Amino acid sequence: MLDLVGRGKARTCSGATRREFLQVGTLGALGFGLPQWLAAREKGLVRPEDDTKSCILIFNLGAPSHLDTFDMKPDAPREIRGPFRPISTVADGIQVSEILPRHAEIADKISFVRSCFHRGAAVHDSGWQIMQTGRLFTGGVDTPHVGSVVWYLRGSRSDLPPHVVLPETMGRGGGNLPNGQAGGFLGKAYDPFALMADPSQENFKVPDLIPPSSLPPVRIERRRRLRETIEASMRDFEASESARIMDEHFDTAYRLMTSPQAREAFDLSKEPRKVRERYGMNRFGQCCLLARRLIEAGVRFVTINTFLTVFDEITWDIHGSKPFTSIEGMKNIVAPMYDQGYAALIADLSERGMLPDTLVASLAEFGRTPKINPAGGRDHWPQCFTVYFAGGGVQGGRVVGASDPIGAVPDDRPTEPPEVVATIFHALGCDLQTHIPGPGGRPFPIVDTGYREIHELF
């Protein structure tokens, strides 16, 4: 919880403990320290008042089999095409798997890129890193998440943090690499706000948005006034960088705890039961609904992890044998949950008039092997997979690129991760020639030279 009465450590030059009464604790229940999401400092880069562009990035941990979902090969041998049949969609000429019938109903709002690939290792966290940052983790350079870069460039437009991860950041991936969901070399001030709670649970609340019961609002306000009273006696210290950062921490904590806007945005009880059930009363479905509420409240970037790890739960990681998921498990558990939540999100955004200004990017770390393995599943395959987009200026009902007859490699319009990340930047209005402070303070391009957005989508 936020602790506004704990003992502090910061001292003035004369040795006085300034924050014995001002200390802001860490947001332990949310999984990160408050300094990790300070309000973006003024850089002259914040969007104008009429800016409404936002992004919801859905990351499908475990990696869906493109051959069993969005890039089916019905004419290939059985060991390639798998057990599912393709079905027609509302978009002319586009088919998806029968296990995703609700995607078929909204395919006119979606554009699929069936020719994505990357050169990273075939391990989960390598793919997580490269798909969310546009770069391989090499030379110890931890590139920030695309949402963190947007935060740095555009700042906040509400009392809520500019980048939120739901329900929490990714867990282990098996490769001991950064997962790509952090501020990276921009610093922990640009780490996303991680919810660290399951919004599908009964009586879900975000505890750190509410003052502790032991600290009523009158005491918070008294503490704030006391803090302001001593400012004049500490002008020398006030001029220091340490004091400025300390003040940002306090003010940010105060705004978060006392903001009706923040409390309202996270309060799913405000939604009619019928709306919640439309999304699905499960973790992913309720995260999708919460993402819509956060975008409405002014959050600029929301990342949703469909799963948290590939080791402790049924996911898209369909190797076929325990402890991993079988193709049947994908059909009966994973696909229905995902299909319902995603389709409800797109339809709801569209009905509310939000879809034109909200890009929904659905990514994964790689695809799955063209040939079904002896266990009846499919293994890791970064050589070819499908990503897809809706809203945010993307024209729906399109297919960009193509894989070869067995879905093994791109056959037309090969697409790499920097282009995927550039597409997100482009949809949010970021200049792809922009540089940010990189390692050692050197200018660092937000997109590798030579890469542009996937222009066929727009």
In this structure, the answer to whether residues 153 and 218 fall within a common structural domain is no
What pLDDT does 205 receive?
A: 83
> Contact, 341 vs 279, CB < 8 A?
yes
Is residue 5 domain-resident?
A: no
In this structure, the answer to whether residues 404 and 295 fall within a common structural domain is yes
- For residue 246, the enclosing domain spans 212-266
Residue 269 neighbours by CB distance under 10 Å:
9
In this structure, the answer to whether residues 322 and 452 fall within a common structural domain is yes
d(CA 39, CA 245) in angstroms, rounded, equals: 10
In this structure, the answer to whether residues 377 and 250 fall within a common structural domain is no
In this structure, the answer to whether residues 176 and 300 fall within a common structural domain is yes
What pLDDT does 50 receive?
A: 39
Q: Are strands 358-363 and 54-59 parallel, antiparallel or unpaired?
A: parallel
d(CA 217, CA 318) in angstroms, rounded, equals: 50
Is residue 304 domain-resident?
A: yes
Is residue 66 domain-resident?
A: yes
What is the model's pTM? 0.84
pLDDT (tens place) for every residue of the chain, 458 residues total: 333 333 333 333 333 333 332 333 333 333 333 333 343 334 434 335 437 899 999 999 999 999 999 999 999 999 999 999 999 999 999 999 999 999 999 999 999 999 999 999 999 999 999 999 999 999 899 999 999 999 999 988 888 999 999 999 998 888 889 999 999 999 999 999 999 999 999 888 876 665 555 455 665 566 666 666 666 556 565 565 455 445 544 555 566 666 888 889 999 999 999 999 999 999 999 999 999 999 999 999 999 999 999 988 899 999 999 889 999 999 999 999 999 999 999 999 999 999 999 999 999 999 999 999 999 999 999 999 999 999 999 999 999 999 999 999 999 999 999 999 999 999 999 999 999 999 999 999 999 999 999 999 99
In this structure, the answer to whether residues 198 and 220 fall within a common structural domain is no
Return the H-helix or E-strand segment holding 302.
Answer: strand 301-305
Is residue 35 domain-resident?
A: no
In this structure, the answer to whether residues 242 and 366 fall within a common structural domain is no
d(CA 290, CA 304) in angstroms, rounded, equals: 10
Domain tally, the chain: 2
Q: Are strands 163-166 and 110-116 parallel, antiparallel or unpaired?
A: unpaired
Is residue 3 domain-resident?
A: no
> Contact, 30 vs 196, CB < 8 A?
yes
Task: Name the residue type at position 285.
Answer: G
In this structure, the answer to whether residues 278 and 325 fall within a common structural domain is yes
What pLDDT does 239 receive?
A: 60
Return the H-helix or E-strand segment holding 410.
Answer: strand 410-412
CA angle 65, 347, 61 (to 5 degrees): 30
Is residue 37 domain-resident?
A: no
d(CA 148, CA 378) in angstroms, rounded, equals: 33
Torsion sign over Cα 173, 174, 180, 181: positive
In this structure, the answer to whether residues 302 and 433 fall within a common structural domain is yes
Minimal CA–CA distance to 39: which of 296, 228, 221, 300?
300
In this structure, the answer to whether residues 200 and 217 fall within a common structural domain is no
Residue matched to tokens 């340490």? 242
What pLDDT does 342 receive?
A: 99
Provide CB contacts within 8 A for 432, sequence distance 6+. 422, 425, 426, 446, 447, 452, 453
In this structure, the answer to whether residues 388 and 284 fall within a common structural domain is yes
